[in-house]
Chain A
Amino acid sequence: MEKKYWQSFGALNQSDAYQKDVQNEFKEDIPALSEDSNLLEAKTPRRDFLKYLGFSTAAAAVAASCEMPVKKAIPFVNKPENITPGVANYYATTYVQDGDVVSVLAKVRDGRPIKIEGNDLSSINGGGTSARAQASVLDLYDTARLRFPSIEGKEVTFEAVDKAVAEAMSGLTGSVVLLTSSIVSPSTKAVIAQFLAKYPGSKHVTYDAVSYSGMLDANLATYGKRVLPSYHFEKAKTIVSLGADFLGTWLSPVEFSKQYAAGKRINEKDPSMSKHIHFESVATITGSNADEKYTHRPSETGAIAAALLAAVRGEAVNVADEKLKKGIAAAAKALNDQKGAALVVCGSNDPSVQIVVNAINEAVGANGTTINWAHTSNIRSGNDAEMAQLVKDMNAGSVGALLVYGANPAYNWYDVPSFVAGLKKVKVSISFNTKLDETTELCRFSLPDHHYLESWGDAEPKTNYFSFIQPTIHPLFKTRQWQDSLLKWSGATVDYVSFLKQFWGAKVGGEAGWNAALEKGVWQPEAASVSSTAFNGAAVAAAVDTARAAAKKDGLEVVLYQKVGIGEGQGASNPWLQELPDPVSRATWDNYFVISPALAKTLLGIDLSNGGQADAYEVNPPKKVIEVKVGNQTLSLPTLIIPGTDPNTIAVAVGYGRSAKTGKAAEGAGKNAYPLASFNGTFVAYHAANATATLTKDKYPVALTQTHFRYDTEQGNRTEVMKELTLGDFKKHPSEIYDERAKELEPWGGIEKFESDGTIYPVFDRPGIKWGMSVDLNTCTGCGACVVACNAENNIPVVGKTEVMRGHEMHWLRIDKYYSGDLDNPQVVFQPLMCQHCDNAPCENVCPVAATNHSSEGLNQMTYNRCIGTRYCANNCPYKVRRFNWSDYTGSDSFANNQEGIISDVTMDMQDDLTRMVLNPDVTVRSRGVIEKCSFCVQRLQEGKLKAKKESRPLEDSDVKVACQQACPTNAIVFGNANNKESAITMTRMDNKLRTFFSLEMLHVLPNVNYMAKVRNLPASEKHKAEAHS
């Protein structure tokens, strides 16, 4: 035994009190400041005071000295395989969230996934991503993730929880039900089948928060199978959408955007494009992109579908509203003109409406052309009736165990109280969800699943299109894949990884085939084909009647919709998505009632056609709160007036009002709108008639990133900012835009010589590389994927609602939205705007310290550590793309954490060591008081140049892809070296000479970003018609 030395009895006995004492470094109270005496009563206040004064002065001096705290990076002693410090690895994996599937590459730096890129090899999303896929990497580092398994909220081990579950499940009365969101993984389906087989009488209920049950049921009725087909928007010359937001939130928006853009991409030599006619109740990005758009009551969707069917068949159209009637006639004509290349989609969850839509598609020959049954879609398979039955069963006490994965009915089921009451009667409730969401909170057992970036898995979004998931980081917390749990509980001896390998081994060609498939991330065993399926029209006549009968004539109606970022509510706890402005309303951090200008006039007393009133509404963030009552549900929210909304409709986004336990970002953001939905026995309806709205006295601030939505003013139409025209005009006068530019610049040398003749200063040659970007406004849908990609790539801070409200958001890339035309139903254009990298930049010459300057490659660069923050550059930027660090948003000040109460909790949360793991080490984290802005992803440019240099060859297009360009699902952004005659950017500019323009070109700032005008598939405008006649 070792010899023991001791100084006191406490030390000898190691008593508790002694232990505590030892831990406490400062045993005695600070004399003057002990609790029960104040400074003056203390024994030696003056001397102590002087001591403290001296100490604190010295401490402050030390803290405030020029030295910033040094954090040391310790090198690897042994270099791990495949990890080279400073070099990124890319792993192919798949973003899967409740049925949404995007094949992606995860960029991993030093063992941390930091960025999601689209997988170019995928034939579905082909390199494109969505805002949510881009933001998903931040969820990995979410501080609100569940970190360990628990029983009734107490941390336990997986062994313990397995044991407890086994005990609970044995001797269970009542059925075992597995409640999940749509499952797209074939191997998981096999695991589930194994599990269900173990428990007789058990079943699997699939529940989608925003359900496509009606569509599935309609397909069952007319095509005999309860599945969704895949769509080919690219083959459709005519697209009619009845409220389906297929570019934003409907089914597979990334895929559809890509297809849609293919039909909208214009060839100047022979201009033609698809025609898109849109009917909707609330303004969405799809409606904004449409060539023609009509608004209607939500309840009228079925009647419109029925009328369209009649019109397509050449029968009389029975619609009272003149505008709608015209729209239906136009849609029917356009569909009939393009039989075999026409497509109708509908966002309704009513099976009878979808049956009518199926009938229209059948009539216009979509089946087997634009609608493909050869590769059916698996991304949604929920069944509302089954879910409703489950809730009933739970309340009846016949459900013994409920295992929840992905689904969150305690938040998003239309009748939360009955689900919650039912759940209380279920003996064994188990949640596999990754966060303490509303449902998990109520479950007895919580076995958090991995984040997808930590997981193994697979996905089959469409039949025979496979995409694989592989882990990119060791699990951060004590989590376990839920498939492992199921396997364990069903008595299997293999874990899920082995199961997965076994599952695929034979199919993909053994170990080597599996590795190859994992490397590519996608696997498509057979060539894509298109086929039709037999249509059974028996149900159509009855469906038409039901659909027609649903239409209401009067009263207000409420419709629920999804936002691009938040979706069903999964995005609510993601700060990037909360701060992503909604493409249509440009609002962040909240949901609100969306109403039309006409309704605003009567309900709010705000007349948007009155300049002063419109201004007052726009410039003040507090918006009037209204209370909407549907049945016995009421909801009070602020109102935003969005032109393009139906005058009888009040729309509200779902996905808000989440529990604060799901994350700081969700806290206090909006209110839950799901209770306004209803269930009629077969499907959940996301709209309600007979609503009443009353104006309250309250006002509630909404954080908008854009206040004004029109580019025409009384003083003139600001066409230098934005250019759009109709296809008819473009055909008649292809060079309209070019001529306009030429005329404007004529006094200063015309387009060609404007650079030299527009200035009295000498002009420099620009040899070597000259970076340039081109944005096609025709294919940009405004989805916002680029904005989030930019956030992730460039470490752009999240500032939170209060700061956005003060105009302090930091986005380097924003998507401006402009209306034109009629106030009630305007046309909408989106314009992504980033730093234009002007060759004659007004920001550069006003900086007193030359902190922003021009590179020899045409970049307008920002030197953060030279910047003193005068903001003169931001003032003098005509595009207002420069962003100032108003507060210490990144925690990079020398006084750490002095921003408590100054910046939002979300921003503080983003400074957590965990969340900071998402930061891109190649990009400087900016400190308080400096300006920042788009750098054209200079870190990527350097990397690309270096790569080319190492291979001793000139730079190629493939070497460099900037983040926004990479993320864009429609390839609207082209980037490259404009000095290279063969580069994509040069070719794009040459091929689209007639549509190319530079925003605010007349200022002679010489931007390096050009735009290509938006062309809408409409006939020639009146102006040009008149010209043609004269």
Chain B
Amino acid sequence: MSLLKYESQLREPLVNGNKTYAQVTEDIVRPIEAKPSKLWYIGFYISVALLMFGVYSVYREVTYGIGQWNLNKTIGWGWDITNFVWWVGIGHAGTLISAILLLFRQGWRTGVNRAAEAMTIFAVMCAGQFPIFHMGRVWMAFFVLPYPNSRGPLWVNFNSPLLWDVFAISTYFTVSLLFWYSGLIPDFATVRDRAFTKLRKRLYGIASFGWTGSTKHWQRHESLSLVLAGLSTPLVLSVHTIVSFDFATSVIPGWHTTIFPPYFVAGAIFSGFAMVQSLMVVVRKVFALEDYITIGHIEAMNKVIVLTGSIVGIAYLTELFMGWYSQNKYEGYTFWYSRAYLFSPYGWSYWGMMACNVLSPQIFWFRKMRRNLFVTFFMSVLVNIGMWFERFVIIVTSLYRDYLPSSWSVYYSPTVWEIGFYMGTFGLFFTCFFLFAKYFPTIAIAEIKYVLKTTGESYKADMTAIEKESASDFAHKVHAH
């Protein structure tokens, strides 16, 4: 044992309770082996119902046309792309937690990374529905793939940011999925080893790819994690940067701004963490995992929220400033009238966004608030509402009144099928998440075990006794311990 494993007593333990390795396994695998609770069934069925409603909404849109939505000649994108950007944003936290925090050696990530990654994958799946089904002729969607074809030199348009999206998101999804799954392998093996039915053994056996826990396996596993973390890190930044290019490279006032890439990435992390919070606060309670997802975890994530929320706030103010400073009448109108003027038709959405994203997270400057579960949950929902408004503001308030006043739009409000599609993605997300919570280890067992001896409560308590003695002694004892 080296000194490096020593953790200051000032840091809270990452795992509470007197956990042993066996207990960790027991705590985390128990929900998988037990029958799901009534609550789980209720939640699951509601999610499936929502999903079915979404499927029907999409069916109508595909069968009867985009006219099922209230988009118009001026507002070509509305809820569809708003929801797309919103879900993609949410899908940022998982990879950030698993990749960037892994590289930064943030031990606290182990408690939440599995669920956060799952959330990322499901969120990206939801996000993907929108650019696909917002197409007028979705059955021709394969045109966006640059595959060799019999149409002569006809190729996709590499100038189009929408095409970059195709690549960025599919890459992100693939890498995130691999990363998530590679982490799951040792845990699946654990579940397999405890399995009491043949079917279970077989299925988890297949899922764990014949993991035996040999040193060679562990060594390869660790290298793979590191490589994937390295690959994912730039992706965390690139995906939302590219999504922001959809807007930033256009000519529409309100879209055509260079600030978008960093602003979008910060916003994505902001909303991603908020979503992780919403889910974790519930999951830790329902599955009795409070010892693994501690208040310390919650607080750490709230700190990220207040940081990114403030970055986003500065971005908003910078935009407003530039709207004035550029003295460009078109931009000025978009920023100062269509958005910032409360009594303009969409003024409410801008101020809704400001209130949810900039003002309310400031509450997290207070430690007490950061550690309050109720406040955390409420705020996390608020932030996601705010971030939805942000995308709505960017897309709709820029489009509905652009250059030619003659083409300014009538009021845009979604149809039930437009809302239904969005609800449907919630259904998809939660259906997946419920299944995940039931059949997958929601917390990375192996990784918790990895940090248990340095940061587990009982181990830290042992250390405290040693620390009370003299420093030279302490160093010696640590080595011996």
Tell me which of A898-906, A912-920, A990-998 binds B: A898-906
Whether A880 touches B74, Cβ cut-off 8 Å, given contacts A885-B65, A928-B65, A930-B136, is: yes
Interface centre among A704, A708, A903, A927 (most CB of B within 10 A): A708
Whether A848 touches B160, Cβ cut-off 8 Å, given contacts A868-B141, A871-B76, A884-B66, is: yes
Q: How many residues of B contact A (CB 8 A)?
A: 61
Interface residues of A in 987-1030 (CB under 8 A from B): 999-1000, 1003, 1005
A560 smallest CB distance to B (angstroms): 28
Q: Are B163 and A848 in contact (CB under 8 A)?
A: yes
Q: Are A619 and B136 in contact (CB under 8 A)?
A: no
In the complex, what residue of chain A is closest to B70 when comparing beta carbons? A806
- Which residues does chain B contribute within 8 Å of A845, judged by CB atoms? 157, 159-160
A345 smallest CB distance to B (angstroms): 30
Complex: how many Å from CA A715 to CA B323?
Answer: 10
Complex: how many Å from CA A714 to CA B403?
Answer: 14
- Which residues does chain A contribute within 8 Å of B134, judged by CB atoms? 870-871
Q: Does A541 contact B (CB under 8 A)?
A: no
Q: Are A885 and B405 in contact (CB under 8 A)?
A: no
Whether A887 touches B250, Cβ cut-off 8 Å, given contacts A621-B410, A710-B405, A806-B70, is: no
Q: Are B410 and A868 in contact (CB under 8 A)?
A: no
- Which residues does chain B contribute within 8 Å of A884, judged by CB atoms? 66, 73, 76, 136
Q: How many residues of A contact B (CB 8 A)?
A: 75
Q: Does A718 contact B (CB under 8 A)?
A: yes
In the complex, what residue of chain B is closest to A586 when comparing beta carbons? B406
Q: Are A902 and B64 in contact (CB under 8 A)?
A: yes
Q: Does A817 contact B (CB under 8 A)?
A: yes
In the complex, what residue of chain B is closest to A930 when comparing beta carbons? B136
- Which residues does chain A contribute within 8 Å of B252, judged by CB atoms? 875-876, 878
Q: Does B72 contact A (CB under 8 A)?
A: yes
Whether A878 touches B156, Cβ cut-off 8 Å, given contacts A621-B410, A929-B137, is: no
Q: Does A287 contact B (CB under 8 A)?
A: no
Whether A849 touches B251, Cβ cut-off 8 Å, given contacts A807-B409, A870-B134, A929-B66, is: no
Q: Are B143 and A868 in contact (CB under 8 A)?
A: yes
Q: Does A75 contact B (CB under 8 A)?
A: no
Tell me which of A36-44, A223-231, A608-616 binds B: A608-616
Q: Are B329 and A713 in contact (CB under 8 A)?
A: yes
Tell me which of B105-113, B192-200, B336-344, B429-437 binds A: B336-344
Specify which of B332, B343, B405 is in contact with A708 (CB 8 Å cutoff).
B405
- Which residues does chain A contribute within 8 Å of B166, judged by CB atoms? 848
Q: Does B230 contact A (CB under 8 A)?
A: no
Specify which of A715, A805, A850 is in contact with B333 (CB 8 Å cutoff).
A715
- Which residues does chain A contribute within 8 Å of B329, judged by CB atoms? 713, 715-718
Q: Are B136 and A878 in contact (CB under 8 A)?
A: no
Specify which of A611, A707, A808, A849 is in contact with B156 (CB 8 Å cutoff).
A849
In the complex, what residue of chain A is closest to B72 when comparing beta carbons? A807
Q: Are A902 and B406 in contact (CB under 8 A)?
A: no
Q: Does B155 contact A (CB under 8 A)?
A: yes
Q: Are A902 and B67 in contact (CB under 8 A)?
A: yes
In the complex, what residue of chain B is closest to A807 when comparing beta carbons? B72
1/0 contact string of B458-470 vs chain A (CB within 8 Å)? 0000000000000
Q: Does A869 contact B (CB under 8 A)?
A: yes
Q: Are A619 and B410 in contact (CB under 8 A)?
A: yes
Interface residues of B in 58-75 (CB under 8 A from A): 63-68, 70-75
Specify which of B68, B159, B406 is in contact with A816 (CB 8 Å cutoff).
B406
Interface residues of A in 710-752 (CB under 8 A from B): 710-711, 713-718, 721
In the complex, what residue of chain A is closest to B137 when comparing beta carbons? A929
B17 smallest CB distance to A (angstroms): 53
Q: Are B162 and A713 in contact (CB under 8 A)?
A: no
In the complex, what residue of chain A is closest to B69 when comparing beta carbons? A886
Whether A1000 touches B157, Cβ cut-off 8 Å, given contacts A716-B329, A870-B135, A887-B65, is: no
Q: Does B161 contact A (CB under 8 A)?
A: yes
In the complex, what residue of chain B is closest to A613 when comparing beta carbons? B343
Interface centre among A803, A818, A871, A999 (most CB of B within 10 A): A871
- Which residues does chain B contribute within 8 Å of A814, judged by CB atoms? 406
Q: Are A869 and B135 in contact (CB under 8 A)?
A: yes
Complex: how many Å from CA A571 to CA B250?
Answer: 42
Q: Are B337 and A715 in contact (CB under 8 A)?
A: yes
Q: Are B65 and A871 in contact (CB under 8 A)?
A: no
Interface centre among B156, B161, B251, B341 (most CB of A within 10 A): B251
Q: Does A395 contact B (CB under 8 A)?
A: no
Q: Does A879 contact B (CB under 8 A)?
A: yes
Q: Does B374 contact A (CB under 8 A)?
A: no
Interface residues of A in 882-903 (CB under 8 A from B): 882-888, 895, 898-899, 902-903
Q: Are A615 and B345 in contact (CB under 8 A)?
A: yes
- Which residues does chain B contribute within 8 Å of A718, judged by CB atoms? 329-330, 403, 405
Whether A805 touches B410, Cβ cut-off 8 Å, given contacts A886-B66, A887-B65, is: yes
Whether A898 touches B72, Cβ cut-off 8 Å, given contacts A869-B136, A929-B137, is: no
Whether A866 touches B403, Cβ cut-off 8 Å, given contacts A850-B156, A886-B66, A929-B136, is: no
Q: Does B18 contact A (CB under 8 A)?
A: no
Whether A611 touches B343, Cβ cut-off 8 Å, given contacts A845-B160, A874-B76, A876-B250, is: yes
Whether A869 touches B407, Cβ cut-off 8 Å, given contacts A713-B337, A902-B67, is: no
1/0 contact string of A821-844 vs chain B (CB within 8 Å)? 000000000010100000000100
Complex: how many Å from CA A697 to CA B318?
Answer: 45
- Which residues does chain B contribute within 8 Å of A716, judged by CB atoms? 329, 332
- Which residues does chain A contribute within 8 Å of B137, judged by CB atoms? 867-869, 927-930
Q: Are A842 and B251 in contact (CB under 8 A)?
A: yes
A481 smallest CB distance to B (angstroms): 43
Q: Are B402 and A878 in contact (CB under 8 A)?
A: yes
Q: Does A872 contact B (CB under 8 A)?
A: yes
Specify which of A713, A866, A871, A928 is in contact with B77 (CB 8 Å cutoff).
A871
- Which residues does chain B contribute within 8 Å of A880, judged by CB atoms? 73-74, 402-404, 407
Q: Does A426 contact B (CB under 8 A)?
A: no
- Which residues does chain A contribute within 8 Å of B365, judged by CB atoms? none
Q: Does B34 contact A (CB under 8 A)?
A: no
Q: Does B411 contact A (CB under 8 A)?
A: yes
Q: Does B399 contact A (CB under 8 A)?
A: yes
Q: Does A706 contact B (CB under 8 A)?
A: yes
Specify which of A816, A848, A869, A870 is in contact with B404 (CB 8 Å cutoff).
A816
- Which residues does chain A contribute within 8 Å of B156, judged by CB atoms? 848-850
Q: Are A868 and B63 in contact (CB under 8 A)?
A: no
Complex: how many Å from CA A928 to CA B71?
Answer: 15
In the complex, what residue of chain B is closest to A869 when comparing beta carbons? B136
Q: Does B154 contact A (CB under 8 A)?
A: yes
Q: Does B144 contact A (CB under 8 A)?
A: yes
Q: Does A847 contact B (CB under 8 A)?
A: yes
Q: Are B250 and A707 in contact (CB under 8 A)?
A: no
18 other A-B residue contacts (CB within 8 Å) besides A807-B75, A868-B137 = A621-B410, A707-B410, A711-B405, A716-B329, A718-B329, A808-B72, A817-B406, A846-B250, A848-B166, A850-B154, A867-B136, A871-B77, A875-B250, A878-B251, A886-B71, A887-B65, A928-B137, A930-B137
Q: List 25 A-B contacts (CB under 8 A).
A: A611-B344, A616-B345, A710-B405, A713-B337, A713-B405, A715-B333, A818-B405, A818-B406, A842-B251, A867-B137, A868-B135, A868-B136, A868-B137, A868-B141, A870-B162, A875-B252, A880-B403, A882-B73, A883-B73, A884-B136, A885-B136, A886-B67, A887-B65, A902-B67, A1000-B404
Closest 6 CB pairs of A and B: A869-B136, A929-B136, A807-B72, A716-B329, A886-B67, A816-B406
Binding site for B on A (CB under 8 A): 611-612, 615-616, 618-621, 704, 706-711, 713-718, 721, 803, 805-809, 814, 816-818, 831, 833, 842, 845-850, 866-872, 874-876, 878-880, 882-888, 895, 898-899, 902-903, 927-931, 999-1000, 1003, 1005
